[in-house]
Amino acid sequence: MKSKRGFYPYAVWMAIFVIVPLGMILYYSFTNAGGSFTFDNFIRIFTSKKPDYMGILLTSLRIALISTLICLVLAYPFAYIMSRMTEKRQRTMNLLIMLPMWMNFLLRIYAWMMLLEENGLINRLFGLIGFGPIQMINTEGAVIIGMVYNFLPFMVLPIYSVMAKIEQNLIEASQDLGGNMLQTFRRVILPLSLPGVITGITMVFVPAASTFVISQSLGNMMMIGDTIEMFFVGTSQNFNIGSALSLILMVIILISMAIMNHFDKDEDGGNLI
């Protein structure tokens, strides 16, 4: 009985903040301004050329994928090195990773704007060695840099938390059985760390695909998150188109998560060894 009573607050919370918003998105997606059922919102999204909604969506997914891959390449070796440190150093490294996250998100973006602008610190350093100035701000590369900087901790921490549980004697056993570094990585470390990799990819790709502040500030470009925001709070307010775009993005993200979960059937990665 107590467990059922304890469930009610969570059920109410889910209904108010998850089910009701999703229901509103579905309603506006399939209705017009007069409240009549229609598919015109989706037809407009898939056929419109000015603006090219599908082009914006594909660009957003491409940038999100690039940012996710860069985060993975940077985070994986760092997480492994960190997991092999002493407990005291691991706690220190955890603190250093989380420290930037304690600052306001917009403040971190503005800091990168100052670093990347034409007269910013990076271009000044390039000037000292005879380069530049290089156009960095208002480029796609600047958006990727901003995403990698802000979302990298979400890749490092899940991978680290899994790698920290890998016993050193498993690695030593592989080496004792004649496995070289590459074989040990492929047959022991990678399979056991795969759940953390999948979690990290999901935690980075989802916010990167839907972000709307980084692209505006660093790239002066429209991504799908910016477009959705425009329809809800901008001058071109249109809840129906905005909801339809949100639904399409939600479906794509859910499909991506389902694909990733397909490779994570076993929590411990044991089925891959």
pTM above 0.85, yes or no: yes
Count of CB atoms situated within 10 Å of the CB of 191 = 17
% of the chain at pLDDT higher than 90: 57
> Cis before residue 195, ω within 30 degrees of 0?
no
Q: Are 88 and 172 in contact (CB under 8 A)?
A: no
As to burial, measured by CB atoms within 10 angstroms (0-12 exposed, 13-18 middle, 19+ buried), residue 33 is exposed
Which pLDDT belongs to residue 168?
85
> Cis before residue 133, ω within 30 degrees of 0?
yes
Whether 119 shows a pLDDT value over 70: the answer reads yes
Closest residue by Cα to residue 252 from 21, 53, 20, 61? 61
Ramachandran class of 35: left when φ > 0, alpha when ψ lies in -120 to 50, beta otherwise: left
d(CA 152, CA 203): 10
| pLDDT per residue as tens digits for the range 225-237 | 999 989 998 677 8
| pLDDT per residue as tens digits for the range 164-213 | 998 888 888 888 888 788 888 888 899 999 999 999 999 999 999 998 88
